[in-house]
Amino acid sequence: MRFSINGADHEIDFDIRTSLLDLLREHLQLTGTKKGCDQGACGACTVLVDGERINACLALAVQYQGRAITTIEGLGTPGHLHALQAAFVEHDGFQCGYCTPGQICSAVGMAAEARRGVPSVVTADLAATQIALDHDELRERMSGNLCRCGAHNGIIDAVRQVLA
């Protein structure tokens, strides 16, 4: 089966029951994408598919053939950080760092959702026609990504600096 991951094509044979998360980590050694809960609750496994964020642990890999999959490895490198990665460093947006790849992929997808006018709970409550990515709005939109170290304020500051 053929996959497009971080701009490169891959031909991979695997058990069709394999999740996208396991395909990335175990078949392609793209271990930047993390396995936390493995049941859709923590966001550590967030990747982008055609620019939209998904939890890779809940996705059957076979369903994503031919789609443009982007992982943290496709957003930045140690020598050339993505602007969000640099902002996370600047704002102490992590402690252990385990959730960080998922947080950053999620933020990229979140910004695209906001630009398309996809409402959050906050904006739906306000019946907002224009989305202002203020602190509360960003907290809501990033609420699917947990940080057990409690670095959420730094994470939101970093996201807000780059994307809001």
Intra-chain end-to-end CA distance of the chain, in Å: 38
Query: Which region among 32-40, 63-71, 84-92, 147-155 touches ligand FES (by CB under 6 A)?
Result: 32-40
For ligand FES, which is the closer residue by CB, 40 or 76?
40
Residue 136 burial (CB count, 10 A): 12
Examine residue 19 and tell whether it contacts ligand FES (CB under 6 A).
Answer: no
- Can you give 70-116 as a three-state secondary structure string? ECHHHCCECCECCHHHHHHHHCCCCCCCCCHHHHHHHHHHHHHHHHC
Query: Which region among 38-46, 77-85, 104-112, 147-155 touches ligand FES (by CB under 6 A)?
Result: 38-46
Cross-strand bridge partners of residue 4: 9, 68
Tokens describing residue 102: 């998922």
Examine residue 41 and tell whether it contacts ligand FES (CB under 6 A).
Answer: yes
Compute CA 158 distance to the chain's CA centroid, rounded to the nearest angstrom. 14
Q: Which of 6, 20, 36, 101 binds ligand FES (CB under 6 A)?
A: 36
Q: Which of 24, 48, 55, 71 binds ligand FES (CB under 6 A)?
A: 55
Q: Which of 12, 26, 27, 38 binds ligand FES (CB under 6 A)?
A: 38
Examine residue 45 and tell whether it contacts ligand FES (CB under 6 A).
Answer: yes
Q: Which residues contact ligand FES (rule: CB under 6 A)?
A: 35-38, 40-45, 55, 57
